[in-house]
Chain A
Amino acid sequence: MAEALLKVFRGNKDGGQSVEFKVPVAPGMVVLDALHYIQGHLAPDLAVRWNCKAGKCGSCSAEVNGRPRLTCKTRMDSLPQNEPITVIPLKTFPVIKDLVTDVSWNYKVNKKIPPFTPKPGASWKFYQDDVDRVQEFRKCIECFLCQNVCHVLRDHDKYDQFGGPRFFVRVAGLDMHPMDGVSRTKLLKNDLGIGLCNITKCCTEVCPEDIHITDNAIIPLKERVVDEFYDPVLWIVREIRGARET
């Protein structure tokens, strides 16, 4: 049986190193299978977060050969056969142990976002055309690969000024919902720092659910921010309308 050489990060928040493991490769095997083999046969204390092994829970995110991926959706035969396979934890978040990172910062950001708030007196009658867009955003499995690859967090550490692509997707799903009655545009500009995004599309490239994060969520939200804060003509229109209503 063929063997693969895996270089897996072992360590904790104080540091660590890559450790080599030889793993037998079976047809159809994914990287998570290899990690389970290591746990079962070579290093029982290897920490790996996983749950469904079907690409739907978003738990097994890691960096395989330098690319943020779900280990359960990364087939071993899709990787170079004659080179070691490196598996390290998500770089953007603090390591707890081995491949497990502390992603709790994301849940703190999530709390900043006003939840779905129905319009007062809403009739709850809407059409498929109205919800086509938001259904794409509901596919998010919160694997946080987009947060991990986003250079605003990864390289510039803007944790206190920036929400990240995952939460732009969430805001898009709420703001574009036909029955939602709350505007989150000011939140996007001021608290979630959407202006820090320079739309380099890495989030879209790594999304395992193939959500068009940049084109369908971030850019439309940026345009909404422009409507409210940067478009002088719309500002004048709002002022005139406001003056008429008062």
Chain B
Amino acid sequence: MSTRAISSTESHVHPAAVSLTDVTAGYGPHIVFKRLSLKIDKGQFAGIVGPTACGKTTLLKTILGTQSPLSGTVLLDGQALNDIPRGVIGYVPQLGSVDWRFPVTVEEVILMGFYTGKRIWPWPSMEERERVHDLAHRLGIYRCLRQQISNTSGGQRQRAFLARALVNNPALLVLDEPTSGVDIKAQHEVLHLLGDINSEGITILLTTHDLNAVASHLPWVICFRNGLIAQGRPRDIFTNDILTRTYGGDITIVRHEDYFLIATGTPIHFSDGGL
């Protein structure tokens, strides 16, 4: 049974940025989640957390429309997915989903965001190039625009994907595991960057395994395990009860003023080998 710690949407008149009603999704005979109802407000910056193979990616695919739900309705800004114009959704896939040896530069990767438009000429227009350069400046990757994507760091690749997702000024930005595959500094920078982007009114929805990063950077969390466990602010959601129901096993939460640290299990005490 799912619990909602804090209502996110009831008081709002405008349609939610993302609205799932009684959605069941799965692959063939395998059901991943059943009769899920979930709303994400416009302008929200929400993170979906949950254990591996709990259906986070299936949920994202259902929202993005790359996987059709077995039943139920998915609406984005009150519209069915098929009615959504191109460019309304920006998407940043997992870094591991791409062959980084592919012969393209950072600039070409960002330009791909325009490749859904009507322009058929292979080369970019002046406006497209200017937009790419502006975004690259803003995201701190201008100096590596001409660099091969294979020669960039995980953080730069993440920013390149982010720039590609932003070229069309999307209303909703969806990111699949943006904190994996990058070091802790890049992780912090990317989440701060997302916070800045969110402050401009873009709704952001991401999945992550990193509870501590979510706790310190995201204002709204959705705990998911083959269904909605709870959603709300991290300080309200990250309780032993909810996290144990989400992940199973022992979860320890250390709180200090506005900070908290989430750890799993009990520490292993290694012997000193008699030294």
A and B bound?
Answer: no
